[in-house]
Amino acid sequence: MVNIPGRSRGCATCRKRRVKCDESLPECLACVRMRLPCPGARTGTFFVHAVPSSSSSHRTCGSALRLPSPQPSRSSAFDQLFVSHFVESFFGTMKPPPTPGTPSKIWLHELPVFLVSSKPSSAKPAIRAASMMSYGTLAGDVSIKTAARRWYAEALHHLQCQITKGDVCVDEGIICAVVMLIHFETWAGTSQKAWLRHLKGAAILLQVAGPERCSHGFMHQVFSHLRFQMFVAAMTENEVPIFASQDWMTIPFRIYPKLIFDQLIDVLFSVLKCLSVADQLIKSDDNGDLRTTLDALISDTMLQSSQWWLDSSRSVMLSL
């Protein structure tokens, strides 16, 4: 008989403990919170043999209950599927070749490391939330998107617990978690500015970490990844971000020089400075000093953009 009513689809651990399983993939939240091994909920069709055998019908009521042997864990297989799909969604079929002088790995390649870590972290549920929402959206699978929202709530809960403790340690795990929540919101479309709140949170955490820590490793990769999003956010709110300051435009790139795209963002940040001073000039009565400042900024921005165009053209010619 197939799918007999009353037969639980919950994971083997929850069934053994006789507790309700939320049937989340790749691991249920009950097991995650109790830090128990979880093989994941049953998926697809399963069969139950409902006719007792002759030997089992003669067993006494006092015989010991035999529990089913644990299922092999499938969480790592699901994680690999969802994360691989998430990484591929960034590049599609046109994955760019590595650029000389840059790290051989990018921040996306570090996601599996956070997933297999035994250390409690908000990164794991956040990675699952974003990667599952990405996969579920493109596959049109409502159940996976529902599970992704559960992991999103779990990640928010974990982050809230970390923040309310005070004296938050800004490490790679918490930065990774917030960045993945940004990508969850871009896929989920909860609201038009939901991603912006997480981006502001990531910006605050990076400021606490400081530009020196953003000059190498995972922090540098994430900082470089977020710079364009920070520009877009600043444009929507008509402000100049702290990351447009001289320190933030130089110190994080001491080890790994800027790529052409990084240089383009520098030009865009300069445009923001021009717009900010122009806005002040419009609202001000005494505009002598502001006019001089604006003229200097415009001249510098034009020089930057011309240099960027020359460098990018040279780079294209060398790649041919």
Compare 11 and 140 and report the one with higher pLDDT. 140
Q: Average pLDDT, whole number, for the chain?
A: 83
Per-residue pLDDT at 259 exceeds 70: yes
Q: Is the pLDDT higher at 76 or at 272?
A: 272
Report whether 61 contacts 53 (CB < 8 A). no
Last residue of a domain, one of 226, 256, 284: 226
Asked if residue 309 is part of any domain, the answer here is no
Sign of CA dihedral 316, 91, 114, 202: positive
In terms of domains, do 218 and 175 share one? yes
- Record the pTM: 0.74
| Domain identity same for 82 and 194 | yes
**Which tens digit of pLDDT belongs to each residue from 196-254?**
999 999 999 999 999 999 999 999 999 999 999 999 999 988 899 999 999 999 999 99
Looking at residue 185, its pLDDT comes to 96
Q: Assess whether 6 and 143 both reside in one domain.
A: no
66, part of any domain: no
pLDDT score recorded for residue 25: 72
Measure the CA–CA gap between 135 and 185, rounded to whole angstroms. Answer: 14
Instruction: State whether 11 and 152 are in the same domain.
Output: no
Asked if the structure places residue 237 within a domain, the reply is no
Distances in Å between the alpha carbon of 106 and those of 98, 99, 207?
A: 10, 11, 21
CATH number at residue 26: 4.10.240
Q: At residue 63, does pLDDT exceed 50?
A: no
Pure H helices in the chain:
12-17, 29-34, 54-57, 75-91, 111-116, 123-139, 142-164, 172-188, 194-209, 217-237, 246-250, 260-283, 288-319
pLDDT category, 5, cuts 50, 70, 90?
Answer: very low
**Of 34-38, 202-206, 298-302, which gets the smallest average pLDDT?**
34-38
Distant-in-sequence, close-in-space partners of 25: CB < 8 Å, separation ≥ 6: 40, 41, 43, 78, 132, 144, 147
Question: Which of 226, 260, 281 finishes a domain?
Answer: 226
